[in-house]
Each structure stands twice: as C-alpha cells, then as structure tokens.
Amino acid sequence: MTTSVLQQWFPWVETPMIANGPMIGAACPKLATEVTRAGGVGFNQCVVDVSADCPNLKQLDEELTECRQLLGDQATDSSGRLRVGAGFLGLHPSFPEFVSTALPILQRHKPVAVWFFAPATAPTPHHKPIIQALKTQISPAPSVFIQVGNVKAAREAVEDGADVVVCQGIDAGGHQFRRGMGVMSLVPEAKEAVEEMGKDKDVVVIAAGGIVCGKGAAAALALGAEGVVMGTRFTVSPESSYPDFRKALVLKTSDGGNTTLKSWFNDKIAENHKWGEIYDGRAIIGPIHDKFMAGASLDECLKELKEGYSPEEAKQLINTWAGTGVGRVRKALPAGEVVKEVREDAIKTMRALAARYS
C-alpha cells in the first residue's frame, strides 16, 4: 500500500493526504471546499437523522449544492464525482432508512467520499448493506471512510467494506469510543489487522486524534498511516461554522491534557442522550466540569447550570469540543493555509529525521 492509491481515488490530492473531520457544528461547505482546493479531502458535517423529509437531509442536499457552486469549474473530478465528502452518524433510529432517503441525494450529487461513524450497535458490523448499496447504486462509487477507535472496530470496518479506516485516538476532540486507544498504539496494530484482512483489495488506514501540526502528521505517517484527519485545528479557521465564542475558547486554551475532559459527562450535562453507552466525548473544561470532578453529582451540576447561569452563559460553559492538541492551536488560519502548512511541515520533519539518522 502506498499513498499512490489515495491519489488514484482522489487525483487532486497532494501527499501526505490531509482531511478535515466531518464535525457537526463546525464543518461546512466553505471549510470543506477550501480543504479540497488546497489538495486535501474536505468533508461537510455529519448527518444524524435520515428519516424521510427531515431537515437534516434537506441540509445535506443544500450543502452539497453549495459545495458545487463554491468549487465552480473545479467541482468534479475526471469521473464526474463532486470533490468533497459527506458524513453520517449511524446511531440514530432512522439509520436503517438510509437507502431510501439519503442514497438518492448521494446519487444526485456523487460526492467523492462518504464517511460513517457511530453505529448504534458497535460490536456488530453495521454498515455492510448500506456500503453495498453505495457501491452498486452510485456510479462512480464513492470511497467509504469508517471511523473507528479500537482494533476490533477496525476489523469490523473492513468486513463492512470500508475503503478507508480512520483510526481515531483518544486524544481527539468530540465524540469517540469510550473503549478507545491512543494513536500511538491504535494505528500500527489496526494497520496490521487491516492489511491481513484486506489482502484482496486496497484498504487505507489514516490517523486522527490530537493531530494539529506537521510534526503530529509526520508521527502518524511513521506509525503506518497513509494520511491524517484534523478537527480541532480546523474549528478556528474563518471558514468553520464553529461559533465565535467557541473559536475564542479554543484559541486561548493550552495544556489540553489538563484543560479538556474525555467523559460521558459532556453529553449528560447537555442532556444529549443519543450517544448511549458506547461513546463519549472530549471537550474543554469549565466551572461545571470542575464541580463534577470535585465530586458533585450529575444532578447537582445540572441544577447549577440551569439556576446559576443564564441560558446563553450556560451554552458557553459546555460542549466546546476540542482535542488534547488544543494548546498548539494558537492562531486562526484559513483552512487552505492549514492544509498547506501541515503538509509542508510534515515533509520537512520527515526529511530532517531521515537526514539525522541516515
């Protein structure tokens, strides 16, 4: 496996490949298209609800249309695929309706990639029928990305038919597997497992979680990844739809191991129950988190959040998702500049290491 496979799938991509995560509330057409323009793979935000006539599907259609307009005469590759990706979360009860509701939109727009994460029943392969429909009912078929957090899930992704296995380490911001691994241990073991299972086809492993700079990207490549996904770094780009107060908080936060918390608490305090027991998330710590970590119960924290703060203040205290690399996110660069900077620094780092140890 070489990065030339990625370039066959995404001919405009420059290596090492850099993608933005399909972050709900941050990824959007402006962000996705600028990542693509810079030689990466841009993704719009994940769709959660795929029930018939739901607002999420209308938004998906509108965002893919906007991407086409923003890219103009660069909108499609030589095979006619739209040069951005779409993402979906599998945990919503409507997900079994995907083929009848979401697939027609994808058939119309032909995004170059489709990203899946968070099946409702993680221990059981969940995406296979949907991936088969994507591969047989869209021509040319999109490349399928499946996000995983441990080796078992990586194996299941291959069984389901993934083209790209996104190995998300527990340093990541936002939602992830509770029973996850760090990138350092996940990527090489998952790559070994994927290569063993995918001997009859090309399956690419890329890394995510805590990667915010070229040195992190170079480290991921050394572990065996073929490219990287970044989230936190892109949240503060001017093209990102992350609210300004969250961008400001990300930029002023440092020491991500001490100032972010990976916990079920981040969903429970927001009274967000859709993620269940399989997943949790990492977000920036505020005073309500401090109260919880000092021993207060969830009910006590919920009461203080509702009674001690205005609704706007309460909103700003929770759910600013960010990874442990947040301390190295020090300025808000345009998304295209981020892609180029990280790619160039990764190459420079690898060359310096090769020279040092040759």
Q: Which of 109, 127, 175, 289 is catalytic?
A: 175
Relative orientation angle of helices 335-357 and 29-37, to the nearest 10 degrees: 40
In 18-86, which residue ranges form alpha helices assigned H by DSSP? 29-37, 55-71
d(CA 18, CA 57): 27
Element (H, E) at 188: helix 183-197
Instruction: Write the CA distances from 225 to 105, 115, 278, integer angstroms.
Output: 31, 17, 25
The string of DSSP letters for 241-306 reads: -S-HHHHHHHHH---HHHHEEEETHHHHTTT--TTTTTEEEEEE--HHHHHHHTT--HHHHHHHHH
The string of DSSP letters for 159-187 reads: HHT-SEEEEE-TT-SEEEESS---HHHHH
Instruction: Write the CA distances from 182 to 82, 187, 312, 350, integer angstroms.
Output: 33, 8, 34, 21
Given the structure tokens 């620094």, which residue do they identify?
345
**175 noted as active-site residue:** yes
- Beta-carbon count within 10 A of 125 CB: 18
Using an 8 Å Cβ cutoff, are 168 and 209 in contact? yes
User: What's the angle, vertex CA 90, arms to CA 179 and CA 114, rounded to 5?
Assistant: 105
d(CA 183, CA 178): 14
For the annotated catalytic residues, the residue numbers are: 175
